Amino acid sequence: MKILTITCWSHKIKYYLLCSGGRAILASGIIERVGLGGSFIRQVVPGREPIVLESDNNDHQSAVALIIATLTDPQHGVIANASNISAVGHRVAHGGKEFRHSVQIDDSVLNSIRKLQHLAPLHLAPNIAGIEAAMTHLPEIPHVAIFDTAFHLSMPECAYIYPLPYEWYENHGVRRYGFHGPSHLYLSRRAAALLDKPVDACNLITIHLDRGVSLCAIRNGLSVDTSMGMTPLEGAVMETRCGDIDPGIHFYMMRELNLSTKELEQVLNNRSGIVGITGQYMERRRFVKAALDGEPRCKLALEIETYRLKKYIGAYLAAIGPLDAIVFTAGAGASEWPVREMVLDSLDCFGIRLDCDKNRAVRPEPEEVEITGEESLIRTFVIPTNEELVIAEDVAAILSGACCDHRHYGYSFANGDFVPSVSNA
């Protein structure tokens, strides 16, 4: 069985083609600048040099067609034709409270996803465009939706209800949903395996630290709180998103600068966070280096980012109770030892001690590394995430009739003998 996974953003699509139940990567790639002009595709096939091909992609329809054409290309592809693809797994940013686990997509499911667009307009529109494009180009095979929010629907009411008029929740769906569910699910299973404990006996704090940042408080294997809220804007400081701020600032700056709601939304999502503090977009590695070299605004941005992550850890310790482990993942979480060191500094009072030598020796490879210091009461891991494997295994399980929901399914990566792998796409 060969499964294609697709993750769509407004101007970018990431894809993987996997086989053997999702554990083997045949190819992975990304299309950049969809609809912006100057679009190109970059594909990686294990054992080959990456390829980069320029192409006009005015919309998701043409972009998905290009993915299929590249995968089946006689020179660059890995399959003879599109009929070799057994199913497509689509990462969907928001499933509301309706979708508690992955589901096969039919007209009814797609219409339900469309009705949820108001909850994540910046994310669901491209997700839907990708689904429609893939179903157009691959109409004869199953398509499955894997929801970012599903993992977090185990949160108790006290964690997901906002202190706002209750009818906003009842009539408009205003509540905490959380995101990065496949990543936090993967980390919970891998951490449990490394701890040699059943996942339903594990208490964890998982930290997905990349362009988007979210933390998850996991008690007995279930999400009981998470930093992102009704939208991905709430929570930690991110590359371009502000995270937690006083909502009174919104009204103040709208009056001061005569901003429309759309303009303010753009500022909070695309011109805030680290970009807002530093005043410039820059590659993450260059930003961290500049901060460590003492560039004032980069240094300030890094201090704000790590200070707020530290505060979340303290809050989640209080919410969870006795903690087994803290797990860092994703681009920055797995590759930046200074960030991990700054986040965990001065947490000895909670019994958290870091082995600085082990932490600084971590490389962004598929290995899972423990960086726990001596006499630490709480273990600390760096575990590269694998959201695509979660998507592929959910697709395979649904097609076989074996999957009910993530709480009861036996994922391959929950096993102690599982060997992680990642792609460079």
Active site residues: 148
Q: Among 176, 198, 178, 177, which Cα is nearest to 188's?
A: 198
Task: Give how far the C-alpha of residue 111 lies from the chain's centroid of Cα atoms, to the nearest Å.
Answer: 24
From CA 17, how far away is CA 2, in angstroms rounded?
7
From CA 1, how far away is CA 85, in angstroms rounded?
8
116 neighbors 96 (Cβ within 8 angstroms): yes
From CA 355, how far away is CA 204, in angstroms rounded?
19
22 neighbors 389 (Cβ within 8 angstroms): yes
Q: Among 51, 57, 2, which Cα is nearest to 31's?
A: 57
Instruction: Enumerate the H helices of 146-281 as residue ranges.
Output: 157-160, 166-172, 181-195, 248-257, 261-270, 273-278
91 neighbors 151 (Cβ within 8 angstroms): no
Q: CB count, 10 Å around CB of 349?
A: 7
Q: CA angle at residue 396 from 390 to 400, to 5 degrees? A: 140
H/E segment holding residue 305: helix 296-320
**DSSP string of 122-144?**
HHHHHHHHHHHHHHHHSTTS-EE
318 neighbors 347 (Cβ within 8 angstroms): no
Backbone CA torsion sign across 364, 192, 404, 109: negative
